[in-house]
Chain A
């Protein structure tokens, strides 16, 4: 129930990867036949990735995952477009984007962080107002990892095009759950991660539209056309390609299945537990994301008690050394104090079943009842 964190590798993906460990182990840069086989495998995977998102194979650059892709898109573009020092992003981005932006600010670049509404949708008017003469990049995620809100990328793309600004999106959470096509979305760069879609960890890609001015952030032997040096993780890339191909073939079926489970889980919780709140947008929402706050109880305690009942979830309400801190996303959604400390993210996967949903609902009922019986707030 924590599939937004990571997913199990699909057995078909494992089968596709296995030959590339000890049989076809060549370095894709070597000119002999061993190397050629690996190079061919890479180009097949590149085509698989490109095909699923409506891109050209030469626009796909393999990386070590979503974080590196986000870093490359921002650090590879913002400092290398002459005189343009400003970029725009949102306050609810993944730390891979936010911390990269903070680094650029230290280097003297300017970053505008656009707010979101209480459902987690980026304020498009505010975004447009923050465009400047020297804005080089807009980076807004496709769907949020905590609350699942899907962003209006098509509208943001129009703004970017009108002002001749590059547009990057982190699509790590949306790929495999909703349609992702670089032309429909109108993006110039798009980050994907393999392990979120039943592929292996440590691999991902950045789509870079032809004609984008981008510089490498990792230098070396000119792999990936010099944009990302380092001997390619051939087995990982093969697995990633296969995983993405499967995700694309199964998209409609998986999405429907997850949406049904999601809606059933949400309505069961609302029917059986009082004082609850759905965080994120009610309909512009990833099919696999449920984020609910429970009054009078705290996130870590819920997480621990659910874990004891075999249910793995995550929380945006963590207890840190200073105080009970809500995540930057929940804070940006301006969730009331009563609710902000008791949030749970339950993220579903295609292998979950309706029986799992029943189990989660029962575990939640027990957990909330037990913790509320202990809470001084529940009786007041």
Chain B
């Protein structure tokens, strides 16, 4: 089995912010069942702050743990701060990812940014 950091295992087994926000201000979803890995992130924004961030993920250990990590990192941040999050921030938060497993690490962040863009477009 691939060796994951303790933090990845923790995040995978007790993820934060699982779910859909019913009256979300922005939604981002990437992936398909053909390639695998589907990540849905929904956000609630108030006074330019990401008041709530929730995720639903179909995928491997990395897909789930990065989704949870992204939700934790983004929640409570200003929209521009959340937009500025990098893949490195996510990987650092998880104390690193095994080699070859960094492919899906960016997906959760991409879904978050799609959700934020969705919010921005709706509020133009």
Q: Using CB atoms and an 8 Å cutoff, list the residues of chain A in contact with chain B.
A: 296-301, 303-305, 307-308, 319-324, 337-338, 341, 373-377, 379
Residues of A within 8 A of B1 (CB): 303-304, 307
- Residues from 13 to 37 in B contacting A, C-beta threshold 8 Å: 13, 15, 18, 20, 29, 33-37
With A297-B58, A301-B12 as known contacts, state yes or no: A376 contacts B38, CB within 8 Å.
yes
Residues of B within 8 A of A307 (CB): 1
The answer on a CB contact under 8 Å between A324 and B36 is yes
With A303-B1, A323-B35 as known contacts, state yes or no: A376 contacts B61, CB within 8 Å.
no
Among A297, A319, A374, the residue within 8 A (CB) of B101 is A319
The answer on a CB contact under 8 Å between B60 and A301 is yes
Q: Is B66 an interface residue (CB 8 A)?
A: no
With A296-B58, A308-B13, A319-B59 as known contacts, state yes or no: A376 contacts B64, CB within 8 Å.
no
Known: A319-B62, A376-B20. 17 other contacts (CB 8 A): A296-B58, A298-B58, A301-B59, A301-B60, A301-B64, A303-B1, A308-B13, A319-B60, A319-B63, A319-B104, A324-B59, A337-B33, A338-B33, A341-B33, A376-B29, A376-B38, A376-B40
7 closest cross-chain pairs (CB), A and B: A324-B36, A319-B60, A376-B56, A376-B40, A300-B60, A375-B58, A321-B100
Closest residue to B55 on the A side, CB-wise? A374
Closest residue to B33 on the A side, CB-wise? A337
With A320-B100, A321-B100 as known contacts, state yes or no: A376 contacts B33, CB within 8 Å.
no
Q: Using CB atoms and an 8 Å cutoff, list the residues of chain B in contact with chain A.
A: 1-2, 9, 12-13, 15, 18, 20, 29, 33-40, 55-64, 100-101, 103-104
With A303-B1, A324-B36, A379-B20 as known contacts, state yes or no: A374 contacts B13, CB within 8 Å.
no
Complex-state Cα separation, A323 to B60, whole angstroms:
10
For the complex formed, measure the closest distance between the CB of A106 and the CB atoms of chain B, giving whole angstroms: 26
Closest residue to A323 on the B side, CB-wise? B35
Residues of B within 8 A of A373 (CB): 18
Q: 8 pairs across A/B with beta carbons < 8 Å?
A: A296-B58, A298-B37, A298-B58, A298-B60, A319-B101, A321-B103, A375-B38, A375-B57
Residues of B within 8 A of A308 (CB): 13
Residues of A within 8 A of B58 (CB): 296-298, 341, 374-377
Residues of B within 8 A of A341 (CB): 33, 36, 58
Closest residue to B13 on the A side, CB-wise? A308
The answer on a CB contact under 8 Å between B36 and A319 is yes
The answer on a CB contact under 8 Å between A300 and B33 is no
The answer on a CB contact under 8 Å between A374 and B35 is no
Residues of A within 8 A of B36 (CB): 298, 319, 323-324, 341
For the complex formed, measure the closest distance between the CB of A332 and the CB atoms of chain B, giving whole angstroms: 17
Complex-state Cα separation, A297 to B100, whole angstroms:
21
The answer on a CB contact under 8 Å between A305 and B100 is no
Complex-state Cα separation, A299 to B64, whole angstroms:
13
Residues of B within 8 A of A379 (CB): 20, 56
Complex-state Cα separation, A321 to B20, whole angstroms:
28
The answer on a CB contact under 8 Å between A374 and B34 is no
The answer on a CB contact under 8 Å between A377 and B101 is no
For the complex formed, measure the closest distance between the CB of B56 and the CB atoms of chain A, giving whole angstroms: 4
The answer on a CB contact under 8 Å between B33 and A377 is yes
Among B9, B18, B38, the residue within 8 A (CB) of A377 is B38
